[in-house]
Amino acid sequence: MNTVKRVFLWFAPDAKKGDDGRDVFGSRATFVLCAMGGAVGLGNLLRFPSVVYNNYGLQFFVPYLIALFFIALPVLILEISIGTAYRGGPVVAWHSAHKRAKGIGLGVVFNGYTVVTYYIPLLAWVMKYFRRSFQTPLPWSGQDLSEYFSNDIIANTAPSVVGSFNPDGSVVQYTQYSDTSLLGETAGWAIFTWFVTWLCMFKGVGLTGRVIYITMGLPFVLIIILIGRGTSLPNANEGIKLYFATWRTSALQSPQIWQAAFGQIFFSIGVGFGYFTSWASYCSQHSNAVQDALIIGFSNSLVEIVAAFAVFGVVGFLGLDPSDGEALGTFVTGFITYPEALAQMPGANFFAVIFFLTLFLLGLTSAFSLLEVMSTMILDTDWGNRFPRWLVTTVIAVISTLISLIYCTAFGLQALDAVDTYVNDIALFFVVWCECFAATSMYRCRDVANQVGWLGFLIYTGGFVVAQILSIGISYATRPAIGAPVGFVIFITSAIAGVYLSKTPGFPAPRFWGRNNLLNRFWWIAFYPGYQLTCDLNVVIGVGRNWNLPVYWTVIMKYISCPILAIVLSFAYPKFTKTHMYDPIMIYGFSIVHLVVPVVALGFIIPSWFNFIIPADKAARGDKPVVPLEIVDESQTMERAVGVEDGVPPHSNMGYKNDKAGVV
* Model confidence pLDDT, tens digit, residues 115-134: 999 999 999 999 999 999 99
Q: What percent of the residues of the chain are helix, what percent strand, and what percent coil, each to the nearest 5?
A: 70, 5, 25
Q: Is the pLDDT of residue 645 over 50?
A: no
Interatomic CA distance for residues 303 and 325, integer angstroms: 28
| Per-residue pLDDT at 11 | 64
The tens digit of pLDDT for each residue in 463-509 reads 999 999 999 999 888 888 898 999 999 999 999 999 999 999 999 99
Q: What are phi and psi of 643, to 5 degrees?
A: -65, 165
Q: Which residue has the higher pLDDT, 15 or 566?
A: 566
pLDDT of residue 59: 87
Between the alpha carbon of residue 493 and those of residues 37, 462, 480, 488, 514, the distances in Å are 45, 11, 20, 8, 22
Q: Compute the Cα dihedral for 414, 416, 422, 424 and give only its sign.
A: negative
The pLDDT > 90 percentage for the chain reads 58
Whether residue 111 is predicted with pLDDT greater than 90 in this model: the reply is yes
What distance in Å separates the CA atoms of residue 129 and residue 106, rounded to the nearest whole number? 36
The predicted model gives 45-72 an average pLDDT of 88
- Between CA 476 and CA 470 the distance in angstroms is 10
pLDDT of residue 36: 92
Nearest 5°: phi and psi at 537?
-70, -35
User: Does residue 656 surpass a pLDDT of 60?
Assistant: no
Q: Is residue 631 a contact partner of residue 534, using CB atoms and an 8 Å limit? A: no
Tell me the C-alpha distance between 411 and 85, whole Å: 44
Residues 6+ apart with CB under 8 A from 198: 393, 394, 397
Q: Which pLDDT value is given to residue 454?
A: 97
The model carries a pTM of 0.92
Q: Tens of pLDDT along 491-500?
A: 999 999 999 9
Question: How many other CB atoms are there within 10 angstroms of residue 531's CB atom?
Answer: 26
Q: Identify the pLDDT of residue 5.
A: 64
Looking at residue 14, its pLDDT comes to 73
Query: Residues of 422-452 as b/e, b for ≥16 C-beta within 10 angstroms?
Result: bbbbbbbbbbbbbbbbbbbbbbbbbbbbbbb
The answer on pLDDT for 547 being more than 90 is: yes
For residues 341 and 650, which has the higher predicted lDDT (pLDDT)?
341
- Mean pLDDT, to the nearest integer, of 325-337? 80
User: What is the pLDDT, as a whole number, of residue 643?
Assistant: 41
150-164, 304-318, 483-497: least confident range? 150-164
Three-state DSSP state, 445: helix
pLDDT the model gives residue 407 = 95
Position 597, amino acid = V
Sign of the dihedral through C-alpha 68, 87, 117, 224: positive
Give the pLDDT of residue 205. Answer: 86
**Averaged over 305-316, what is the pLDDT?**
91
* Average confidence (pLDDT) over 442-466: 96
Tell me the average pLDDT across 339-348: 89
Q: Please report the domains of the chain, with CATH numbers, ordered by start residue.
A: 47-442+527-608 (1.20.1740)
Residue 1: band (very low, low, confident or very high) from pLDDT cuts 50, 70, 90: low
Instruction: Please answer whether residues 642 and 654 qualify as being in contact, where contact means their C-beta atoms are separated by less than 8 angstroms.
Output: no
For residues 163 and 172, the answer to whether their CB atoms sit within 8 Å is: yes
pLDDT grade, residue 518 (50/70/90)?
very high
Among 261-270, 528-537, 620-629, the range scoring the smallest mean pLDDT is 261-270
577 pLDDT band (50/70/90 cuts)?
A: confident
The answer, yes or no, to whether residue 405 has pLDDT greater than 90, is: yes
- Confidence label for 263 from pLDDT (cuts 50, 70 and 90): confident
Which residues, at least 6 apart from 108, have a Cβ–Cβ distance to it below 8 Å?
90, 94, 272, 273, 274, 277, 373, 431, 435
Please report, for residues 181, 501, 607, 610, the alpha-carbon distance to residue 465 in angstroms, rounded to integers and kept in the order given. Answer: 46, 18, 21, 25
Per-residue confidence band for 661, with pLDDT thresholds at 50, 70 and 90: very low
What pLDDT was estimated at residue 163? 77
CA angle at residue 303 from 34 to 124, to 5 degrees? Answer: 65
